Chain A
């Protein structure tokens, strides 16, 4: 009984809540360390390029297929609603707005969170539990810089690029569907599509992708970098990296859309 009282006094709210708050603090500190390390030499350029290759290029095929299907399906599903009041000519505009404003950054981020996030979490987790990170430290290499900064940089930089590819391929898919149904020419489709797009849309999508990329990199690196409890911990790290990254992506999406809409209205 006395032990319980002692323990409850030890936690501020409860064990889980305290752990959650601690995690927030730890991630913030982790992100702060990233910003400190990213500007300090030595710059791990080669490792960054390797990570860019893994995150960007190796995800391209998956993103392409997904975006192509997304474009087709989204167009197909939107048509009946517009056809009800004879506005299928607005389909390119609708699809372009949906893809560029929302789908491209969000879907790319979710795919990257699933593929890249779990990869980073598992990789860093296994390095942590097999004490490779400690070994790096011993061999005078800054493991944070070598492992975390390069990965976070790679995800932050590659996500906007993947988003751009995704938007283009999804619009292509949408064009194929629109062309098959409404016989709209390629030029006419893109003319109509871009009519409703503004610079703010493109800017907000790139900004969102940057933030999502950074989130995926930081969260999954943090989860991997702080793995405990052996190989079991590696699985947990990979899993929580994806879940936490996706959760944060949705939260950020909501906040960014809100902020962008202030600009749009203004």
Chain B
């Protein structure tokens, strides 16, 4: 009986102990999650509207839960001051110019306070500091925006309704296209023409491609023009020379023009010769007189040759001329002989080789 009682006592003790251990573990698990026993700092934020945020909701920074909402209380005229408990370990990451806004864990999830931004230049947030606040996009805002979209959708649907009714009734260009056979046939013909034009275009494109390929063949003029740098230099030189030649021609033409103008003017010898008929007649007479004079002079000179004073001179000159001709003939004969000798020597050499 005593053993039985002892066993019972031990069992009850064990039962109580295990139960208490479970309770303590649960409390510590909860404490670990809510970081109740961890050192923390307090920060404030004053909102116009907290959208249903309550005590115990979470505080997030960069998507990580860093604390909880400790208190939500009215402040000033109609604002709400939210007191947040933030884990001291993340204090160094939150800047003093960081902002706070009310967010949501999902579309219909719990409300949360989101701390964001903050510049590295600003110092770290201090305990008891009030964070800046941005206006939150509330569910009401989203719904009103959706309402606006709905109204637009209704208008669009009405427009589509009107368009489809007009189409069905055959009004307008598209409606006529749907209901009018003639229009359809002519469109069909147009399409056929377009197809033909497209085929022609394709052929044309092929021809152009072939032509271009030929142009690109090495050795052609076009290829040389495009790819050969020497041709280009030569062309450049040629053009320069042509330019120079044309410049010279222009100068020459200008000189000719001046000469012509002078000739036409008649105030100089050549102009006078060309333009004055009296001078021409006088010149002709002069030429006739000269002709007559030269005939007479010829006769006189012939007569002089037979004069005894001059006869010796002429005979002497005739002899000298005869001697020169003879010498010339002899030299030519000598050269002929020399050539024949050279030719016969070369032929004999060729024959002996064969």
Contacts and interface: CB of A to CB of B under 8 A. Distances in A.
Interface of A: 46, 49-50, 52-53, 56-57, 60, 85, 87, 157, 160-162, 164-165, 167-168, 190-191, 194-195, 197-199, 202, 206, 265
Given A49-B8, A50-B8, A57-B15, A164 B30 contact: no
A206 B19 CA distance: 12
Contacts of A46: 5, 9
B22 A52 contact: no
Main secondary structure of the interface of A (DSSP, over half): helix
Contacts, number: 62
Given A161-B20, A165-B19, A165-B22, A52 B30 contact: no
A97 to B, nearest CB: 12
Given A53-B11, A56-B12, A202 B29 contact: no
A53 B12 contact: yes
Contact of A206 (B15, B23, B33): B23
A161 B19 contact: yes
Nearest to A162: B19
Nearest to B33: A194
A198 to B, nearest CB: 6
B91 to A, nearest CB: 23
Interface in B1-44: 5, 8-9, 11-12, 15-16, 18-20, 22-23, 26-27, 29-30, 33-34, 36
A56 B13 CA distance: 11
Given A164-B19, A164-B23, A198-B56, A191 B30 contact: no
Contacts of B29: 190, 194
A163 to B, nearest CB: 9
User: Which residue, A85, A164, A190, A206, has most C-beta atoms of chain B within 10 A?
Assistant: A164
Contact of B33 (A160, A167, A195): A195
A49 B9 contact: yes
Contacts of B54: 265
Contacts of A53: 8-9, 11-12, 15
A60 B15 contact: yes
B12 A199 contact: no
Interface of B: 5, 8-9, 11-12, 15-16, 18-20, 22-23, 26-27, 29-30, 33-34, 36, 54, 56, 106, 108
Contacts of A206: 23
Contacts of A168: 22, 26
B27 A52 contact: no
A161 B26 contact: no
A265 B33 CA distance: 21
A144 to B, nearest CB: 22
Given A161-B20, A164-B22, A168-B22, A202 B15 contact: no
Contacts of A190: 29
B20 A199 contact: no
A191 B33 contact: yes
B23 to A, nearest CB: 5
The 6 closest A-B pairs by CB, nearest first: A161-B19, A53-B8, A52-B12, A53-B12, A57-B15, A164-B19
A161 B9 CA distance: 16
Given A57-B11, A161-B16, A161-B20, A202 B26 contact: yes
Nearest to A197: B30
5 contacts: A57-B15, A160-B19, A165-B18, A165-B19, A194-B33
Nearest to A266: B55
B19 to A, nearest CB: 3
Contacts of A161: 15-16, 19-20
A87 B29 CA distance: 24
Given A49-B8, A197-B30, 11 more contacts: A53-B8, A53-B11, A53-B15, A161-B16, A162-B19, A164-B23, A191-B33, A194-B30, A199-B27, A202-B23, A202-B30
Nearest to B11: A57
A160 B27 CA distance: 14
Contacts of A191: 33
A138 to B, nearest CB: 23
Contacts of B11: 53, 57
Contacts of B33: 191, 194-195
A165 B27 CA distance: 14
A265 B16 CA distance: 33
Contacts of B12: 49, 52-53, 56-57
A156 to B, nearest CB: 13
Contacts of B8: 49-50, 53
Nearest to A161: B19
A31 to B, nearest CB: 24
Contacts of A162: 19
Contacts of B106: 87
Contacts of B56: 198
A196 to B, nearest CB: 8
B1 to A, nearest CB: 12
B30 A50 contact: no
Contacts of B20: 161, 164
User: Which residue, B23, B29, B56, has most C-beta atoms of chain A within 10 A?
Assistant: B23
